Structure 1
Amino acid sequence: MRIAVSAYPPSNGTPVPADQLAAPFGAGRGGRLEESGAGLVQPTDWRRHGATALRYRWWILGLAALGTLGGTAAGRLLPPRYQVQATIWIQSSEPRGGTSRGPIGANQLFESYAWGELLKSYVVLDEVARERRLYLAPQHGWAGAFAGFTVSDTYRPGRYRVVVDGTGRNFRLAGAGGEGLQEGAIGDSVGAALGFRWVPTAAVLPAGSDLTFTVRPLRDAARQLGNALTVTMDQGGNFLRVGLTGADPAHTAATVNAVAQRSVAVGAELKRAKLNQLGKLLDEQRQSARENLQRAESALEQLQVTVGPDLGAAPVPPGGGPPLGTLLGPKLEQEQLRRDRDAIEQVLVQMRDSGGSPDGLAFIGAVQRSPDVSQALRELTTKQAERRALASKYTDDHPAVQRLIGEIELLERGTVPTLAQSLIDELTARERVLAPQVAAADRDLRRIPQRAIEEARRRRDVDLATNLYTSVQQRYDEARLAEASSVADVRILDAAVPPQESLGNSTLRFIVLGLAAGLGLGLVGAVVGDRLDPRMRYPEQVTRQMGLPILGVLPHVKDRGAGPNDEHVIHVIEAMRSVRLSLIHFYGGNGPVVVTVTSPGIGDGKSFLSANLALACAEAGQPTLLIDGDARRGGLHRALRRPRKPGLTDCLAGAAPLEGVTQTTMYPCLDFIGAGSRFRDSPELLGSPAMVELLERVRSQYRVVLVDSPPLGSGVDPYTLGTLTGNLLLVLRTGTTNLALARTKLTVLDHLPIRLLGVVLNDVRPGGMYRYYSYLSGYATTNEREGYAVAGRQARGVL
């Protein structure tokens, strides 16, 4: 919705097109302003929130008091809470570049932060919930009867009721709906078909007993325990603190200790499984290395059988010269480098094309001699063993397993291929370095028997295969030794102990929480209520949302009958002078000021403004005429103490002349025309040619003509009078006027030749958002001595 605001410049009475006016307070051209929130992000108005809190202060204080009482009651009625804590020591992990040939079992199973996730995993919590019977919730006062209650691996959760007959010999087990589930004699197993293991005696279930108990799913009990646990770790990652708060200190301490013990046991079990899987992987590599060694030895043996025994370990070529080892070394090394490079490239191609494993790299001599690639492969083997170990306890969706899968994927697809490609580049560079040496020895090598060269090559293959097998065998032995002598990476440093004192002063804590909750609820409710309040309360609602200027602000008057020396009356009179000044200069032009005064609804104070503004204009020496245009229920005659009829409607109906309805008042320069007799067709009279003629006649006689009209919501009368006068002054009352109604009624002005001059705010209380609209005390006007006064003027109050 848009509200049109036009204006006349103060220099003359010629209207200016609306699209050439500078709109107030950020409005668009033509003085139009969109409603609040239409594409504009308004900053938080803390002054408005403060005024809202002040207005709803009693509600806020009441809610704060209610919250305090609630906190006091909670602190007295709720049982005390006890907090227990256990500390778990975590072995520090070794750096990545540390010892790679030591026992694999010495490495840590998890990173430090992962132990907290393990502690809250269901493999730990499910067992603790079963051990501590956290799934059981007996009726208050009957905990002793369930001392031996346990459940099987599969049971039926629910709410149950046990009733013992008057003889104390028989019992009946029923479900939540009252359906019978079992009947038997005391001493029999109760709920065996439901998965319960409970054999209560007559001592714990006397005659006439009637009790209920709830058995929850084990996973729900474990989930609740995990949510209640507080797990923190120091910055170094060496100490894991497990805390729990409960009403029973002994039970809470036992639960925390059970969680700590179960997490340590699971950690040790997982580490043993990891070492076992690592041993299996190394055993597979050991078998492959043994087969590789056997193939190399068989090839050498076959050569010796085929061509006969070697004539010497280091024969000398004919004609003298370097021994065979010196000549053959570079060539054999070059060939070995080429074979290793080809083997590495083949493995990389298989990994890239078919997603193969990089395990084949471990049997290549160049890879064994490369510290970076060997370390990466050992780390990959360790991660794969850890994943296999965790797979026995967790699914692939568990965070620890997901983390290992990501690390293995990074090693297989990122780290190992990158390091292997770097190794290929190094081997290629080494081949280029050896090429000149091999070329220089080719002449002497041609004179050496080919059998000697081939035998030297195969002996070299045997040596490399032997070294590989020895290395893998050593790692395999170390892994088995580590599995046999493994110790857990974590251990309980401080067990939980039942405390003797509860958590501080719980009553005071509940009181503070209740007070804070009450205050917060009161403040939030006040802000929400203010946002939903349809009534006008703040000047920004007029200037920003409606796009209208404020011509004046009228303060609240406690007693309208008070004399001229009353402070509130003095402020009202001063405010009327301000409205008079703003109206005359905003109206503009040299002709008389003819304005219709109206408001959106009843009780906004339009008649109060009309009477006192007319009086203010008259006191300024301007001939003023006040017309009561509210022909339906006008009451200005009572404020001026003049008769209502004959009045305006009588003149318009031809029953009385204008001179006969124009009344003088007790105030100089102020004349008055009452509403006149009540007519059913008074709206037609207000729009008749007689009304036009009346306004034309009074324009030539008075400088100010104020027409008090009915409210905008009453009918067409205010629009008719506004069209005749051409100007409209709107009165809004803080805390009373409905802004939605005002905006709706003002949309009609877009289609009528009416200039909306501005708004006068009525009944404004001092302080808050309007504190800057008030007037300073001590500046009231007084007569210096008795008899000092302007001729024809007298002290007055408000009408």
Structure 2
Amino acid sequence: MACRPPPRPSPRSKDPVPSIEPPQPPPDGFPEVWSGSPFRGAQPVPSAFRPEHDGVHDWQQYRGAVARYKWVVVLVSTVGTLIGVAATRFLRPEYEVQATIWIESHDPRTEDRGPIRGDQLLQASSWLQLLRSYVVLDHVVRDLRLYVTPALPADSDLFQSFEVAAPFRPGAYRLAVDESGRAFTLFTTAGDSLQHAAVGDSIGNGLGFRWTARAGALLPGRVVDFTVGTPRSAAEQLARRLRAKTDEAGNFLSVQLTGNDARHVTAVLNAVVQRYVAVAADLKRDKLTELSKILQQQLQYAEHNLRSAEEVFEDFRVQTITLPADRVTPVAPGVELTRDPGVAAFFNMKVEREQLRRDREAIELALAQAADSAASWDALSVIGSVQQSPGLMQALKELTDKQAEQRALGYRYTADFSRVGYVREQVDTLERKTIPGLARALIRELAMRESVGDARIRLASQDLRQIPPRAIQEGRLRREVAVAENLFTTLQQRYEEARLAEASSIPDVRVLDVATPPLVPVRNTAPGVILGAFLGSMALGLVGVVRRDRADPRVRCPEQVTHDIGLPILGVLPHVKVRGAGPEDEHVAQVIEAMRSVRLSLSQTHGGGGPMLVTVSSPGIGDGKSFVSANLALAYSGAGQRTLLIDGDVRRGSLHRAMLTQRTPGLTDVLAKRAPLERVTQATSYTALEFISAGTHFRDAPELLGSDAMVELVTRLRGSYGVILVDSPPLASGVDPYTLGMVTGSLLLVLRTGATSLELARTKLRVLDRLPIRLLGVVVNDVRPRGVYRYHSYLSGYGTADEAEYAMGPPRVRGVL
């Protein structure tokens, strides 16, 4: 075993050759072999067993599973599609109807033009809420009886007169007519009888139903199942089914409704939009009517306030008409200032009184000066009051005349002249008696007039002081009248406008496009159901076959060998239908060519440096290890290499039958020293191929395989043969294959598609990690050229044949064993 070449990594393995680990204790089941084995102290050989897992392998395995079970997938998909087609018979197409409502919007720029009309009822965003309001939908539900649902659409004509009264009992009911057609019975779904009456009577009186079937509708034996719900719940369902949207300007409201019955859903939508327009018109009319009533009440109140204010103002004017007032007097053209007569009279009296005082004081001053000196009385003549006194002015004139006459007489006569004296006496009388007396009388008159003026001024002053409060009160009353008049005028105008708007009110919404029954459904679920059934069943089939494949413990595809087990595949052997056929048979030719490929791969993997010793085994029984061993030996011998095939299955070996030789004596006989090597080595009908059978069965045959005699036998055979193949029992049979693998140092594993258990192979191969056995690779047996294995077959027409004139002796290729 010292000349055995060092182990090399698998050609398909990316892992470097690990370092040799120190010897480990033998595994369970090997005590006898290891206790006295010549291989004591041998180190384990790094195994190529490296399970790999990646996503690519998973997808490849999935594709392989689908390819293997494609008819199962097709069958499941077909059945699922047929179920989907059958299910579409219970589905009804869905129709969609649409109606358009025009919403009038008021433009503030055109309010001053056109007829008088009321304001817009709602804002643009509120029209959608009105559409889904119960004042609209409840009416539609009751008119169309949407709260009652018959089980069969054909029974809808029976409920044309169906109505409910509050309170009523909702629920599911069954109406059954007896065979005679004269009586009916109303049941609950639980079978409880609620009413039994003659045909023609009201149905469901005690339940709140107002329902009388039309004549001839209740035929003998007719059974009608129906469900009665509340109108509000039906309105809620209708609101959820309605879809509405407005444009950006809010002038167009698009309403859509879907359902299974095209005519019914059209009737429902038209009823909704008509009720919607009617409700909008009623709301606007009611709004204008209420507005007119409110304005009328406000107008009456404003009129009452105006009359009260006018009466109070009138009474005030009547009471103060004779009193001074600070009223504005119209200004005459060309006059800059116009004073109030009362105020002017007051100031005139004050001026007059002041003038009287000054005149009085001037007269008194003149009298005082005249008494103290011979002052002139001419100063009196310039006083206004003196000028208005005829007597005093006449006296002053006489004084002036007499003084002038005196001066004239003085110029002509002497003082003794009588006329001069007489004139002098007259002047003196006037100056000393007449004028002072008249002046004093005038002073007394002026003083009296002054006192009278003071009294008048005091009275006028009191009147003038009352003018501002009266003016303020008058202004307040005047404003109250103006405000009341303005309010009355405004309300009267609004009231008239409201009456005109009410009389000629135009609805804010109108139906622009009514709904029409569609001919083509908007949503036909039948194709989708069929497609979904097909895809679902296909997915179910794919998942099923993938799970079935993952649960399958047997080898199915090459990736399971290279990735799950982690071993390289040295060759793939096709399925052989007839082993006895000659090399001219297509299947036999495929096997022969596959064996040549295995021979090449095995030789390359094993390497040179001496004869090739290989143990051939498999995880279980029936994997074809003996078939591979025999035909591989035949392939090596056909290549001109001297080959020895040893049947190492000392328990139940039967390879001698394929080689047409004797079972005894054989391997156990030479190991037990009961027969020489030359006697147990048997020639075969194939050139360069010799065979050693299993030999006689012994109870301790496994110990013989691990004895020194086995090592000595192999050592002797190495010098005589170029290729030594040992057919061992399966790995699951016991210790024999491991012992033979340690003897040869190399192991070739045979797996059979559809037969070899992956878990068994993994379990048995883990033991090799602790043994000095080099695992060369795997030969996949019994492969059918389809699916992932279709590329492992060989092209037909490239088989070998001997021409008669160039034949080189007897043919060496004789088929398969």
TM-score range, shorter chain: 0.5 to 0.7
**Closer, same or farther: CA 654–502 of 1 in aligned 2, 3 Å:** farther
Contact 1:8 1:16 in 2 (8 A): no
Contact 1:136 1:214 in 2 (8 A): yes
- Partner secondary structure for residue 761 of structure 1: strand
- Matching residue of 1:594: 613
Q: Deviations over 1:23-74 (max 9, x none)?
A: xxxxxx98675553xxx544884x7666555433433444555466557766
Contact 2:174 2:226 in 1 (8 A): yes
The one of 106, 110, 114 aligned to 2:125: 110
TM superposition shift of 1:210: 4.4
TM-score (norm. length: structure 1): 0.58
**Closer, same or farther: CA 689–107 of 1 in aligned 2, 3 Å:** farther
Contact 2:141 2:234 in 1 (8 A): yes
**Closer, same or farther: CA 794–494 of 1 in aligned 2, 3 Å:** same
- Partner secondary structure for residue 110 of structure 1: helix
- Matching residue of 1:746: 765
- Partner secondary structure for residue 751 of structure 1: coil
The one of 262, 269, 283 aligned to 1:249: 262
Asked if residue 703 in structure 1 is aligned to residue 722 in structure 2, the reply is yes
| CA distance in structure 2 between the aligned counterparts of 1:265 and 1:175, rounded to whole angstroms | 39
- Partner secondary structure for residue 623 of structure 2: coil
Larger radius of gyration: 2
Asked if residue 756 in structure 1 is aligned to residue 771 in structure 2, the reply is no
- Partner secondary structure for residue 615 of structure 1: helix
Asked if residue 532 in structure 1 is aligned to residue 545 in structure 2, the reply is no
| CA distance in structure 2 between the aligned counterparts of 1:191 and 1:715, rounded to whole angstroms | 87
Asked if residue 88 in structure 1 is aligned to residue 100 in structure 2, the reply is yes
Percent identity, aligned pairs only, is 51
**Closer, same or farther: CA 208–66 of 1 in aligned 2, 3 Å:** closer
Alignment of 1:264-663 (within 5 A): 492-499=511-518, 514=530, 517-518=533-534, 521-522=537-538, 524-526=540-542, 528-533=544-549, 534=552, 535-653=554-672, 655-663=674-682
- Matching residue of 2:683: 664
| CA distance in structure 2 between the aligned counterparts of 1:151 and 1:579, rounded to whole angstroms | 90
TM superposition shift of 1:590: 1.1
- Partner secondary structure for residue 729 of structure 1: strand
| CA distance in structure 2 between the aligned counterparts of 1:210 and 1:705, rounded to whole angstroms | 90
- Matching residue of 1:302: none
TM superposition shift of 1:604: 2.7
Alignment of 1:122-201 (within 5 A): 132-134=144-146, 136-140=148-152, 142-151=155-164, 158-164=171-177, 171-182=184-195, 190-191=203-204, 196-200=209-213
- Matching residue of 1:305: none
- Matching residue of 1:798: 816
AA in 2 matched with 1:110: S
Asked if residue 59 in structure 1 is aligned to residue 72 in structure 2, the reply is yes
TM superposition shift of 1:241: 6.4
AA in 2 matched with 1:138: P
- Partner secondary structure for residue 124 of structure 2: coil
Contact 1:88 1:490 in 2 (8 A): no
TM superposition shift of 1:567: 2.9
Contact 1:91 1:108 in 2 (8 A): no
Q: Deviations over 1:624-649 (max 9, x none)?
A: 22222334443322322223333334
AA in 2 matched with 1:744: T
Alignment of 1:670-709 (within 5 A): 670-678=689-697, 682-709=701-728
How many corresponding residue pairs? 572
The farther-off stretch of 682-691 and 123-132 is: 123-132
| CA distance in structure 2 between the aligned counterparts of 1:271 and 1:626, rounded to whole angstroms | 111
AA in 2 matched with 1:698: L
Contact 1:577 1:616 in 2 (8 A): yes
TM superposition shift of 1:530: 3.0
| CA distance in structure 2 between the aligned counterparts of 1:169 and 1:243, rounded to whole angstroms | 41
TM superposition shift of 1:190: 4.5
| CA distance in structure 2 between the aligned counterparts of 1:200 and 1:129, rounded to whole angstroms | 20
Q: Deviations over 1:159-203 (max 9, x none)?
A: 433345567666544333334445566566545665655444775
- Matching residue of 2:801: 782
Contact 1:232 1:241 in 2 (8 A): yes
Contact 2:47 2:774 in 1 (8 A): no
Asked if residue 8 in structure 1 is aligned to residue 8 in structure 2, the reply is yes
Contact 1:597 1:728 in 2 (8 A): yes
AA in 2 matched with 1:634: G
AA in 2 matched with 1:162: L
| CA distance in structure 2 between the aligned counterparts of 1:796 and 1:150, rounded to whole angstroms | 98
AA in 1 matched with 2:592: I
Contact 1:9 1:588 in 2 (8 A): no
Contact 1:84 1:497 in 2 (8 A): no
TM superposition shift of 1:206: 5.2
Contact 1:190 1:199 in 2 (8 A): yes
| CA distance in structure 1 between the aligned counterparts of 2:673 and 2:508, rounded to whole angstroms | 111
AA in 2 matched with 1:529: V
**Closer, same or farther: CA 204–672 of 1 in aligned 2, 3 Å:** same
- Matching residue of 1:212: 225
TM-score (norm. length: structure 2): 0.57
| CA distance in structure 2 between the aligned counterparts of 1:744 and 1:92, rounded to whole angstroms | 85
- Partner secondary structure for residue 695 of structure 1: helix
The farther-off stretch of 704-713 and 580-589 is: 704-713
**Closer, same or farther: CA 142–573 of 1 in aligned 2, 3 Å:** same
Contact 1:48 1:769 in 2 (8 A): no
AA in 2 matched with 1:794: R
**Closer, same or farther: CA 563–158 of 1 in aligned 2, 3 Å:** farther
**Closer, same or farther: CA 612–167 of 1 in aligned 2, 3 Å:** closer
| CA distance in structure 2 between the aligned counterparts of 1:780 and 1:228, rounded to whole angstroms | 75
- Partner secondary structure for residue 769 of structure 2: helix
Contact 2:645 2:692 in 1 (8 A): yes
| CA distance in structure 1 between the aligned counterparts of 2:634 and 2:610, rounded to whole angstroms | 20
| CA distance in structure 2 between the aligned counterparts of 1:199 and 1:17, rounded to whole angstroms | 96
- Partner secondary structure for residue 548 of structure 1: coil
TM superposition shift of 1:529: 0.6
Contact 1:84 1:496 in 2 (8 A): no
- Matching residue of 1:18: 18
AA in 1 matched with 2:162: F
CA RMSD of aligned residues (A): 5.4
TM superposition shift of 1:686: 4.2
**Closer, same or farther: CA 143–614 of 1 in aligned 2, 3 Å:** same
Q: Deviations over 1:655-687 (max 9, x none)?
A: 544433332211122222233445566545544
TM superposition shift of 1:205: 3.7
- Matching residue of 2:407: none
Contact 2:619 2:732 in 1 (8 A): yes
TM superposition shift of 1:136: 3.8
- Partner secondary structure for residue 58 of structure 1: helix
